[in-house]
């Protein structure tokens, strides 16, 4: 942030670059996924907003698109399926100064989240919603989504879908959204322009982005993505400009009765061509319904109107209530009406109103206290014996700055599945396991010799002390799928490492 002098007044000017919004997390989408393009354009637009990073929040639900908050170096919430608009609504009310972005997909936002999306739109909550539409469920491996076209063959519709698809633009308009727009991942310049306009909108801005799923629905947007042909099949909207399209700008949209019609400009007067008005709800409805193959796909801002935001309306009501009744007293509210006192039960009462003896609950509790849970000898042994009985192995330590190549050599040399990573004071800071190698490194990292292990290790792992019972280690391994657990002393310095195999060998010894 820098300070500049404007007209004699000292003001704060926020100066950020795209790099300021790139997090330290490795982006993990399928190679060629359209999500990469959307992420790049969002990171490109953010510095232009003049908003401090600590005032920006990205909220997502569940799906491929919902990894988005991890890749933005801002505040973020990875919420539950379909509920991102709900969390965003609460946040917008609690802190109206925040710049809130919701990232969702056609599955997350229009199936389980459809209800929440509609109400966020109709309330005009001050948030920006980007809906990635690839017309397929990608994260769950290729089932039909709410936007899949009729007849689409998928794993969940092997004979073709029979449901009418949801039209996200028409849905947003029906919910009285104040800003509705569409773009596509393959046209980054257009996408950045639309996102900038959405960011400038006060209220709910809804942006549908046609996004390519290269694995499960790779051909969905081919016609719109082909640079050689896209001008023939897309209609770029500009407020106040006629609806003209085509590589040679030789086609237009006019109305024939209540139906839009594609015409050649050489056959009609220019006065017959519709002029885009982003404030017109009827025109927005017409554009939102142009999904049939005979029409070009409208791209850009379809509707942009101004209405009071939800938070502003609530704050106005709060101010009116305070002016009329004064500042509220929460303690007084709690103690206002409908209170009663629960008095201690008299000892000489023999029966309750229903005729049951008062001693019934005490007798029941006494019986519970007397009942013992039977355990086996092995269970008792695992509870009584400490981890030191497993003969923990001496940990092989390495520092976070060491290369992946060195770490893998160490694992091979010592024939171990886990390295313990320590800091400058020899305290435990992470572990690097064979699972990390298989799931996070193999096939994904090209330069093993110059990539530090710290980028791929498991940070702040669960660690135990050697005097704890074996049963506790087994519980953690079962609950979290751990294969290795480091042992540490009172100062968090590694003293040993145990594995599930050590437990098995211990049991073999004990039972043999």
pLDDT in tens, 423-456: 999 999 999 998 888 888 888 888 999 999 998 9
pLDDT value of position 491: 92
Answer whether 2-236+276-304 and 377-511 agree in fold.
Answer: no
Across the range 98-112, mean pLDDT stands at 97
Beta carbons of 404 and 448 less than 8 angstroms apart: yes
- Strand 297-304 and strand 494-499: pairing? unpaired
Residue 234 pairs in a beta bridge with: 297
pLDDT value of position 379: 81
Which of 317-321, 359-363, 464-468 shows the lowest per-residue confidence on average (mean pLDDT)?
Answer: 359-363
DSSP-assigned letter for residue 102 = E
Residue 251 pairs in a beta bridge with: 245, 264
Residue 275 pairs in a beta bridge with: 242
Which of 30-44, 203-217, 321-335 shows the lowest per-residue confidence on average (mean pLDDT)?
Answer: 321-335
Burial of 319 (0-12, 13-18, 19+ CB in 10 A): exposed
Residues 6+ apart with CB under 8 A from 243: 235, 237, 252, 253, 273, 274, 275, 276
Closest by Cα among 5, 17, 100, 13 to 56: 100
| Alpha-carbon distances of 364 from 12, 89, 344, 373, 461, rounded to whole Å | 69, 47, 20, 17, 43
Q: Where residue 187 falls among pLDDT bands split at 50, 70, 90?
A: very high
pTM: 0.66
CA angle 422, 424, 426 (to 5 degrees): 45
pLDDT value of position 9: 42
Kindly report, residue by residue over 381-429, the tens digit of the pLDDT: 888 889 999 999 999 999 999 999 999 999 999 988 899 999 999 999 9
pLDDT value of position 360: 55
Across the range 336-363, mean pLDDT stands at 60
Across the range 324-353, mean pLDDT stands at 71
DSSP notation for 367-387:
HHHH------HHHHHHHHSBG
Across the range 300-324, mean pLDDT stands at 95
**Domain ranges (residues) in the chain:** 2-236+276-304, 242-274, 377-511
**In angstroms, rounded to a whole number, what is the distance separating the alpha carbons of residues 322 and 311?**
16
pLDDT value of position 348: 52
- Mean residue pLDDT of the chain comes to 90
pLDDT for 212 beyond 90: yes
Across the range 248-269, mean pLDDT stands at 96
pLDDT value of position 258: 92
pLDDT value of position 369: 62
| Superfamily per CATH, domain 377-511 | CBS-domain (3.10.580.10)
pLDDT for 366 beyond 90: no
Which of 62-71, 241-250, 461-470 shows the lowest per-residue confidence on average (mean pLDDT)?
Answer: 461-470
Furthest C-alpha separation in the chain: 102
Q: Where residue 345 falls among pLDDT bands split at 50, 70, 90?
A: low
pLDDT for 2 beyond 60: no
- Strand 251-256 and strand 244-245: pairing? antiparallel
3-state secondary structure of 117: helix
Look at 43 and 5; give whichever has higher pLDDT.
43
pLDDT for 94 beyond 70: yes
Fold entry, domain 2-236+276-304? Rossmann fold (3.40.50)
């Amino acid at each position: 942030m820098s300070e500049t002098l404007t007209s004699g007044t000292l003001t704060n000017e926020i100066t950020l670059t795209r790099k300021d919004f790139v997090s330290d997390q490795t982006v993990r989408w399928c190679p060629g996924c359209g999500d990469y393009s959307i992420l790049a354009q969002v990171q490109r637009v953010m510095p232009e907003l003049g908003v401090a990073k600590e005032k920006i929040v990205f909220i997502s639900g569940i799906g491929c698109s919902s990894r988005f908050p991890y890749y933005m170096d801002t505040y973020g919430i990875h919420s539950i399926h379909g509920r991102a608009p709900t969390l965003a609504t609460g946040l917008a009310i609690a802190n109206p100064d925040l710049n809130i972005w919701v990232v969702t997909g056609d599955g997350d936002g229009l199936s389980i989240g459809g209800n929440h999306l509609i109400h966020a739109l109709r309330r005009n909550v001050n948030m920006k919603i980007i809906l990635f539409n690839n017309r397929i469920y990608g994260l769950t491996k290729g089932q039909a989504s709410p936007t899949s076209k009729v007849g689409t063959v998928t794993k969940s519709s092997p004979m073709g879908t029979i449901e009418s698809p949801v039209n996200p633009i028409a849905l947003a308009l029906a919910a009285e959204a104040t800003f509705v727009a569409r773009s596509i991942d393959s046209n980054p310049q257009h996408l950045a322009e639309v996102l900038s306009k959405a960011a400038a909108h006060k209220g709910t801005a809804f942006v549908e982005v046609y996004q390519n799923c290269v694995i499960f629905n790779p051909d969905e947007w081919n016609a719109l993505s082909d640079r050689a042909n896209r001008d023939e099949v897309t209609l770029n909207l500009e407020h106040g400009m006629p609806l003209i399209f085509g590589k040679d700008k030789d086609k237009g949209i006019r109305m024939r009765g209540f139906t839009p019609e594609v015409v050649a400009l050489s056959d009609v007067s220019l006065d017959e061509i519709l002029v885009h008005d982003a404030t017109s709800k009827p025109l927005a409805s017409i554009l939102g319904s142009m999904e049939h193959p005979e029409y070009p796909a409208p791209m850009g801002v379809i509707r942009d109107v101004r209405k009071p935001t939800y938070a502003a309306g609530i704050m106005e009501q709060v101010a009116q209530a305070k002016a009329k009744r004064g500042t509220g007293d929460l303690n007084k509210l709690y103690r206002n009406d409908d209170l009663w006192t629960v008095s201690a039960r008299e000892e000489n009462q023999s029966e309750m109103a229903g005729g049951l003896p008062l001693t019934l609950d005490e007798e029941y509790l006494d019986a519970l206290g007397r009942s013992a849970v039977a355990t086996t000898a092995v269970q008792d042994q695992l509870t009584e014996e400490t981890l030191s009985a497993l003969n923990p192995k001496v940990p092989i330590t390495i520092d976070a700055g060491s290369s992946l190549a060195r770490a893998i050599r160490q694992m091979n040399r010592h024939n171990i599945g886990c390295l313990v990573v320590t800091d400058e004071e020899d305290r435990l800071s992470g572990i690097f396991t064979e699972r990390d190698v298989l799931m996070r490194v193999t096939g994904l990292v090209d330069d093993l010799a110059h990539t530090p292990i710290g980028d791929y290790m498991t940070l702040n792992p669960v660690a135990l002390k050697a005097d704890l019972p074996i049963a506790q280690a087994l519980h953690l391994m079962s609950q979290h799928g751990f294969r290795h657990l480091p042992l540490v002393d009172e100062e968090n310095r590694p003293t040993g490492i145990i594995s599930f195999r050590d437990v098995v060998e211990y049991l073999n010894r004990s039972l043999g």
